[in-house]
Structure 1
């Protein structure tokens, strides 16, 4: 397949070169960017994307209560189940599923607005999760932040098998949103999760020999149209059997756990992602200013 974006620069981030850590026997995690005990000055952030961790969590374990301030944290469930419990709710007294207690399954997304830093507790069953953190819009005043909030949203797997499905998009009201607009939480792309950044996330499940195209910047959705920063990640979900090729380039083939920094692209450019492995490839696209 011939590349349609000869001007795009693609630099690979191999899985074997990522940071790695084990915590107490219950968490194994790979770090694309500097995080916790892993530090590499070459990998501090990419556009608005600050953290991309691929976590493997053992059964009946999870992250303790911890605050998040001035950050947007989103977790994409690759396998298993994730249970969120507000720190004010005692275990065993959750009641019906709602805003303060809910369970998520493969393909669902948990989103946390750090806001003022109220703590939340996420209890996780055995699963694999992509955890990402974005830097918020620099124009937003800290005094305008809403209180911390956690939400979740389900995304249809069958739709992901047809094309890239938008997951996150900027808050429609932008950096100067009023409290009422914050509460309404209307995203620029319908049925996505709003984020306080010039950022779009998508996910697709690509069958072998099929090609999906990612519309950089999702058209007119983003503010910064030039020199977008697009990170493409192929999670470890198929025991090494999935593989993708970017823009028809033989030197840009991702195996499971690999990622790619794509630069010199603009809103409206179409990035091609071709599945060239034995199994379907679940691909995550993180597109920011």
Structure 2
């Protein structure tokens, strides 16, 4: 199929060009400069600042550490991750298709199969989200005995500093993601000038998603071999005409998944671990994604001004 976005520039970011560190308990790849790895060509893309693909071994994890003035979220690909943080608040679990919500939430002495107001366990299909704002401390741990947890850790630059910290969590089904790209995050209704009431309500522009303090949309889809999805740039969630889209194909199928963007061969074909910068696109443009490998491809879309 021929390109339909001739005005767009597609630049692949190959997996081998990512930063990589294996700490034993953590095997991590950095698409953008992070920790001890710095590459001036990969510092940020619009408001997208960090995209790490992490695997954490059983009975290990990130000890309590601080963050501030970033929007931080984790997309769970497999395994289970336990989150604790200084906000000590209940979060809401959102089912994308049915829009159900249930309270979840570790008190000392509880077993690892219980949950309380002070922690959250996230699993396949879950995304957890933290507005670090004025400052939070949190920890992420894999309490599993045998299975590593594989997830994407993503940071976005918020539209202003000094926000009130907040934690949220949503669940988005694989069944829905096998039908089309499913939006997971969208901007907070009210934007940078949101009122205190809007901040408290945390209502996103796209219903059923998690609200983020940035002109930023995240979506995910699972495309069967020979299947084709279309993503609408901007997702009808923003007034900004000029957009940037980053596409990432996680390493989930042992190298058997592969995609092609906008019908382009060469720079438009991505293998597992690869990403692509899609620049010069406008809100409303249709980005076609084809699965051209031997296994279904789980595709992550990060759409920013």
Q: Scaled by the length of structure 2, what TM-score is found?
A: 0.88
Aligned to 2:191: 174
Aligned to 2:247: 232
Flag the 1:56–1:91 CA change in 2: closer, same or farther, 3 A: farther
Aligned to 2:210: 193
Q: Measure the CA separation in 2 of the matches of 1:254 and 1:17.
A: 13
Q: Measure the CA separation in 2 of the matches of 1:55 and 1:176.
A: 34
Aligned to 2:44: 45
- 1:94-113 mapped onto 2 (5 Å cutoff): 97=115, 99-113=117-131
Flag the 1:99–1:183 CA change in 2: closer, same or farther, 3 A: farther
Q: Measure the CA separation in 1 of the matches of 2:39 and 2:213.
A: 27
1:60 is displaced (CA, Å) by: 0.9
1:8 is displaced (CA, Å) by: 1.1
Aligned to 1:259: 275
More displaced stretch, 244-253 vs 90-99: 90-99
User: Gapped runs of 5+ residues in structure 1?
Assistant: none
Flag the 1:98–1:170 CA change in 2: closer, same or farther, 3 A: farther
Q: Say if 2:12 and 2:274, in contact at 8 Å, map to a contact too.
A: yes
Helix, strand or coil at the partner of 2:214: coil
Q: Say if 2:260 and 2:291, in contact at 8 Å, map to a contact too.
A: yes
Runs of at least 4 residues of structure 1 off by over 6 A? none
Q: Scaled by the length of structure 1, what TM-score is found?
A: 0.93
Q: Say if 1:99 and 1:151, in contact at 8 Å, map to a contact too.
A: no
1:118 is displaced (CA, Å) by: 2.4
Flag the 1:129–1:256 CA change in 2: closer, same or farther, 3 A: same
Q: Measure the CA separation in 2 of the matches of 1:30 and 1:60.
A: 20
Helix, strand or coil at the partner of 2:193: coil
Aligned to 2:98: none
Q: Measure the CA separation in 2 of the matches of 1:5 and 1:107.
A: 31
Helix, strand or coil at the partner of 1:115: coil
1:93 is displaced (CA, Å) by: 3.5
Aligned to 1:164: 181
Matching residue within 135, 146, 149 for 1:117: 135
Q: Answer yes or no: is 1:134 the counterpart of 2:156.
A: yes
Helix, strand or coil at the partner of 1:119: strand
Flag the 1:86–1:253 CA change in 2: closer, same or farther, 3 A: same
1:84 is displaced (CA, Å) by: 1.6
Q: Measure the CA separation in 2 of the matches of 1:216 and 1:109.
A: 21
- 1:59-70 mapped onto 2 (5 Å cutoff): 59-70=58-69
Q: Say if 2:49 and 2:154, in contact at 8 Å, map to a contact too.
A: yes
User: Gapped runs of 5+ residues in structure 2?
Assistant: 89-105
More displaced stretch, 176-185 vs 55-64: 176-185
Q: Measure the CA separation in 1 of the matches of 2:195 and 2:114.
A: 31
Q: Say if 1:110 and 1:151, in contact at 8 Å, map to a contact too.
A: yes
Aligned to 1:79: 78
Q: Measure the CA separation in 1 of the matches of 2:219 and 2:65.
A: 27
How many residues end up aligned between the 2 structures? 281
1:86 is displaced (CA, Å) by: 3.4
1:66 is displaced (CA, Å) by: 1.1
